[in-house]
Each structure stands twice: as structure tokens, then as C-alpha cells.
Amino acid sequence: MNKLIILKIEMSYGAVKDYIYPAVLCDGETCVLADCGYVGSLPEIEKALRNNGLTPEAITHIILTHHDHDHVGAAAAFKRKYPNVLILTSAEEAPYISGTKKSLRLEQAEQLQQDLPEDRQAFGMAFCNLLRSVEPVEVDQVLREDELLPFCGGIQVLAAPGHTPGHISLYLKEFDTILSGDAMALEQGQPVLPNPQFALDIDKAKDSMQRLLSHPAQSVICYHGGLFEKLNY
């Protein structure tokens, strides 16, 4: 029997506390974790898995929607501790995750740092250093748009560029549910673009969110915000 589990993990940055919602899909042979938390969050991910009746050793694949620090931050630590896990992402995101190209988010942050007012300089520098602390991890498999992965009733790769160029979302066929990554977030129960001021291509980001909302899937699990039921929208 296929299972879909939504994890809830507290995420803190300075005085700001929020939650992220990675998802896990399991069948008889495979356990897939979609996105892998922020830097240093492996213990929280392990705890969340165990609280849901799973062992971290059971995870066979990690699919990364894009290379932002709060989605890939614990991937290298997970791979080092559980070396049999396979890392999957889009071909366009793979060089940034593996470290063969410099993070586009870091390039953006360094550029913005130059124009920050003096009272924001320390915060901006701390954020740049956080991005620099993301450890690269080897990508085992690159994913193509519309590719159907044979796990857990079928996982279809949806291209959702804009937040980053190679961002992907995932359609879970058996559960009629989309995992949005950062193509869509929830604020007060309503769909929004996550941090639109930092989207690397805002027009593509808007188009991607609209495609998710127009998709026939009945629900969307937002990494930032949790479960969104379209019937209520």
C-alpha cells in the first residue's frame, strides 16, 4: 500500500520561526523524501521520520525541487550518513546542487548586499554566509520535464521555473496531489508566490504558480504553508 506522509519541521532564522513541510512517499520497496530541509536540520528530519513510523535508513531517494538552502541544506549530511540514498533533481539545478556552479541564490544575495543600508548589512552578510555553508552533494539522476517516475503509484515531474531556472514540482498520481516546492506557498490559507522579490524570473514564477493552480490535481502540498485543498479556493 502506497503512503504519503507530510512532515512538519520547525525552521528558525534569528528570531523568526516558521515551519517547512517536506513530504515522504513510500511503497513496498521505495521511500522517497521530497526536499531535504535547511542547513543543520538532519536531526530534525530524522526525528520527524521516526515520529511517523519511518527510519531514516528506509529513505531510498531524495528528490530536490531546486537548490535553495532550505531545500537542499541537509542533503549532503543525509547522503554521508545514509550513503545508499540516491539524489535526484532537474538537469538545470544539478550543477548548483553538486557544486560545479556557484549558487544563483548566493550570487543574488551578494549583489543585493552591495546596496543594503548600513543597519541591514550584518543581516545580509549572515545570510550570504548561510548560503555559502550549503554543502554540495553529488546528483545521482537528473530528471526531465513530464518524466514519470515509477515510485509510489507514479511521480510525474512538472517543470516550474521562475523561483530558480530549473525548479520542478511533482505530481503524485495516486494521491492526486502536487508537491509545489517553492513554485507556490500558502499564507493564511491562500496561495502566494514565496518571496516574489527574490524570484530569479518573476514572470516565469507567476506562470508556474498559475499552472499548478490550473492543474486538475485536487490538492497541493506547499513546502512553505502545508496542505492546500483546491475545493476551498
CATH value at residue 153: 3.60.15.10
| Res 148 pLDDT > 90 | yes
What pLDDT is attached to residue 12? 75
How high is the mean pLDDT of the chain? 95
Confirm whether 113 is domain-assigned.
Answer: no
Q: What is the mean pLDDT of residues 115-144?
A: 93
Confirm whether 93 is domain-assigned.
Answer: yes
| Res 16 pLDDT > 90 | no
- Residue matched to cell numbers 545514509: 82
Helix axes 121-132, 104-113, angle to 10 degrees: 160
> Could you tell me the CA-to-CA distances from 174 to 66, 94, 210 in Å, in that order?
24, 27, 22
Q: How far apart are CA 123 and CA 184, in angstroms?
A: 26
Confirm whether 80 is domain-assigned.
Answer: yes
Confirm whether 132 is domain-assigned.
Answer: no
Of the candidate ranges 106-110, 150-154, 219-223, 229-233, the one whose mean pLDDT is the lowest: 229-233
> Could you tell me the CA-to-CA distances from 66 to 27, 50, 72, 93, 168 in Å, in that order?
24, 25, 8, 6, 7
| Res 217 pLDDT > 90 | yes
- Please report which confidence band the pLDDT of residue 11 belongs to, taking 50, 70 and 90 as the band edges: confident
Exposed/middle/buried for residue 70 (C-beta within 10 Å: 0-12, 13-18, 19+)? buried
Confirm whether 218 is domain-assigned.
Answer: yes
Q: Report how many domains make up the chain.
A: 1
Exposed/middle/buried for residue 233 (C-beta within 10 Å: 0-12, 13-18, 19+)? exposed
| Res 233 pLDDT > 80 | no
Confirm whether 208 is domain-assigned.
Answer: yes
More confident site: 231 or 37: 37
Domain coverage including residue 160? 3-101+138-232
| Res 232 pLDDT > 80 | no
What pLDDT is attached to residue 13? 67
What pLDDT is attached to residue 7? 97
What pLDDT is attached to residue 14? 64
Confirm whether 25 is domain-assigned.
Answer: yes
| Residues in CB range of 111: below 8 A, 6 or more apart | none
Q: Per residue in 53-100, pLDDT tens? A: 999 999 999 999 999 999 999 999 999 999 999 999 999 999 999 999
Confirm whether 106 is domain-assigned.
Answer: no
Q: Per residue in 196-207, pLDDT tens? A: 999 999 999 999
Look at residue 76 and give its three-state secondary structure: helix
Q: How far apart are CA 233 and CA 230, in angstroms?
A: 5
Q: What is the mean pLDDT of residues 147-158?
A: 95
